[in-house]
Structure 1
Amino acid sequence: MSVQTSSVIKVLAAWLLGLLLVIAGAITAVVVANSFIFSPEEQVHDYLEALSNGDGERALGLLNASVPAANAAMLDGAPLQQSAAAVEDVVVGDAVPVGDNRADVTVTYTVRGTEHATTFPLERTGAEWLFFDTWELVPTMLPTVDLTVINQGEATLNDTRVAMPEGRNQFAVFYPGSFEAHYTSDYFAAPAQTVAVTERSEGHQMALSTAATDVLVEEVTAQVRRFLDECAAQTVFQPANCPFNFQTESRVAGDIRWAITEYPTVAIEPFDGSWEIEPLSGTAELTTSLQDLFTGTIEAVTVPREFGFTARLSVDGDDVTVTPVVQY
């Protein structure tokens, strides 16, 4: 073999070795790309990232989801970011084959310290550039959260004021996520309620139990007391339009003085779409002198008189009106 022939063979061998290395590198690149960039897990990573960014449009496309006929206030921006921010300690598991061109990816995480897991089903839909697998989440319908609030036309859900027609509304939501609702005003408030949405098939209910605030109870109490004090200021046995009186056959022989010794305790409860004051009761005390018509004897008397009445409540913005209702 000539020196020239030997050199050609070495060149060809080197070229073939290089070609094999290139092919091996390409195969490795395809395998790596399919394992990471084009993997089922990566689709789930991208979806979770869209939730964290508050990008509802991208999240909806990645989840391959339909939107139910519900309020969409939680599907984008700050409310979506808040729901995702409560999902912590996230671990995206390895894809598990579940049949031809199907795989499940399970995500574990915590919401307010409680452990949860969500399984995302995916399907292989084809290939890009002949080599790279394409995966999509199996089409689904977004879950909903049903929110109710007593006697109010609005509430706050994930720090967003939302309309509550007739005290109720339904919201389409992404998962996994956490939702917090409350109602707060000067006169009425409902403690915060939270719910974690972890699955696409779950239905969720949140009920806000609105109640009168201490501020409203104090205002109503002040008006009730003012009404009773005005009654007690009347120096007659039967104060006009008042819930207490005194009847006697003796002659009045001294000043008539009323005092309220026990004021009513005010309780405000929801009733038939509005608010009502529970029946009120208390005790008044009459002090006077009476003369017996037969003996002429004058006697100082102090007489306790228990009383009861009802009152109507009207709250219009900042205006609170209590209207006593006295039945004889």
Structure 2
Amino acid sequence: MVGIVAGATALVLLVVAGGVGWSVGSDSHSAERPVESFLDDLEHGHLSDAIRTAGIDRDRDDVLLTDTVYARAGDKVTAHRITSVEQQSDRATVRTVLTQAGRTVPATFELERTGTDWGVFPVWSLRAPTLGSVQVAVQGPPRSTVQVAGADVRTDASGTASLRAFPGSYGVHLDGGKWLTATDSTAAVPGFGATGTPVVVATTLTDAGSKAASAAVDAWVDACVAEPTPIPAGCSFYAYGADPANTYTDQKWTLESRPTVTVGGWAVKGWAVSTRSAGSASFRAQFTGPAGRGTATAGPITVRAAGWITAFSDDGATFESAIGKGQADSGS
């Protein structure tokens, strides 16, 4: 009788243990587990582990997807809550609510069944979630280097950069050296798959940059004045009325007053240059012709300067004129 009771008790214990084991096994193999693991790693700053869990592929352009950079980000995900789990035979959907920057943000994760453990419990793998992106547009020379959360990022030929990023906020800084300056800003990524408002980095010239820009315009004016021809190529002033029957020699421009300019903000091709006050120049040449010898003169002729400061180098600024032959001025 005792043996029968003992055997019955053992059977009950086996049944209970089996039930507990099944419950534990089912719980540890539920579809929400990989999501929990992924978000726990994210909340604790273990970005590399989170990326590995989610199967996210990184390439060399993903400069924001590192532990070091993510540690500098602000407004990160600090908590989460699973709101629902829809589980089918080979796929599952887990819906969550994330806490980010003091507000709740919904996020949905997809999983697929990739096998079984012990031939019984499903193994779920998290599909790589769509990340958000940081968008930066520099109002300055294309292919400029900016720092996003301390990582160097180079803009493309249009002056923009797009970077994959996890939810958070990322500081944007441009070091313009002695020529340029820009106000620091912040790029926000408000959740997974979210594209934050593009950050526009507006550059302005420093005092050194403004002086270099004025010097570049002065050099352009001087080069125009130095041309021994009545129509200096690509310049804003010219003289006309030459008699084709005459031969002209000793042709010379004289700058009587220099134009002053204003350098404004970036305008597609460069920092816009406009004439604040016009200068003037006169032209003089000797001629020989059917009527004999003489001196030809023209002027004073208005000298303007408009265009763009397109670049800076160790030698200073580069000025590109927007005014061609006689487009804004009349000759004499």
CA distance 1:242–1:101, shift in 2 (3 Å)? same
Relative to the length of structure 1, the TM-score reads 0.60
1:211 equivalent in alignment to 2:203 = yes
Please list the CA deviations of residues 45-72 of structure 1 after superposition, one character each: whole Å capped at 9, or x if unmatched.
Answer: 221244444443x4334223456x8822
Letter in 1 for 2:189: A
Matched with 2:31 is 40
Identify unmatched segments of 5+ residues in structure 2. Answer: 217-253, 279-301, 322-328
CA distance 1:144–1:63, shift in 2 (3 Å)? same
**Structure whose CA Rg is larger:** 1
Instruction: Tell me how large the CA RMSD over aligned residues is.
Output: 4.2
Counterparts of 2:275 and 2:264, CA distance in 1: 10
CA distance 1:192–1:157, shift in 2 (3 Å)? same
1:60 equivalent in alignment to 2:41 = no
Aligned partner of 1:157 among 148, 160, 176: 148
CA distance 1:210–1:18, shift in 2 (3 Å)? same
Letter in 2 for 1:74: L
8 A contact 2:91–2:111 mirrored in 1: yes
8 A contact 1:191–1:208 mirrored in 2: no
SS at match of 1:209: strand
CA distance 1:29–1:266, shift in 2 (3 Å)? farther
Letter in 2 for 1:38: H
1:196 equivalent in alignment to 2:189 = yes
Counterparts of 1:272 and 1:241, CA distance in 2: 33
Counterparts of 2:37 and 2:9, CA distance in 1: 39
Relative to the length of structure 2, the TM-score reads 0.60
CA distance 1:64–1:197, shift in 2 (3 Å)? farther
8 A contact 2:76–2:100 mirrored in 1: yes
Letter in 2 for 1:93: I
8 A contact 2:114–2:124 mirrored in 1: yes
8 A contact 2:147–2:174 mirrored in 1: yes
8 A contact 1:122–1:137 mirrored in 2: yes
Letter in 2 for 1:63: A
Using the TM superposition, name which of 307-316 and 71-80 deviates more: 307-316
8 A contact 1:70–1:171 mirrored in 2: no
1:117 equivalent in alignment to 2:113 = no
Aligned partner of 2:61 among 63, 71, 81: 71
Aligned residues, how many? 260
Please list the CA deviations of residues 54-111 of structure 1 after superposition, one character each: whole Å capped at 9, or x if unmatched.
Answer: 443x4334223456x882212223123445x532441221442254454432332343
Please list the CA deviations of residues 29-51 of structure 1 after superposition, one character each: whole Å capped at 9, or x if unmatched.
Answer: 3313432x333332112212444
Counterparts of 2:60 and 2:130, CA distance in 1: 12
Aligned partner of 1:13 among 1, 5, 25: 5
Please list the CA deviations of residues 293-317 of structure 1 after superposition, one character each: whole Å capped at 9, or x if unmatched.
Answer: xxxxxxxxxxxxxx99547747635
Matched with 2:16 is 24
Matched with 2:312 is 316
Counterparts of 2:46 and 2:208, CA distance in 1: 38
Please list the CA deviations of residues 238-281 of structure 1 after superposition, one character each: whole Å capped at 9, or x if unmatched.
Answer: x955248xxxxxxxxxxxxxxxxxxx894422234322333324
CA distance 1:106–1:13, shift in 2 (3 Å)? same
Matched with 1:229 is none
Aligned partner of 1:242 among 254, 257, 260: 257
1:271 equivalent in alignment to 2:267 = yes
Counterparts of 1:16 and 1:82, CA distance in 2: 62
Matched with 2:137 is 148
8 A contact 1:145–1:170 mirrored in 2: yes
1:91 equivalent in alignment to 2:80 = yes
CA distance 1:215–1:48, shift in 2 (3 Å)? farther
Counterparts of 2:266 and 2:41, CA distance in 1: 42
8 A contact 2:270–2:311 mirrored in 1: no
Identical pairs, percent: 17
Identify unmatched segments of 5+ residues in structure 1. Answer: 1-8, 225-238, 245-263, 283-306
Matched with 1:129 is 118
CA distance 1:322–1:162, shift in 2 (3 Å)? closer
Using the TM superposition, name which of 19-28 and 264-273 deviates more: 264-273
SS at match of 2:257: coil
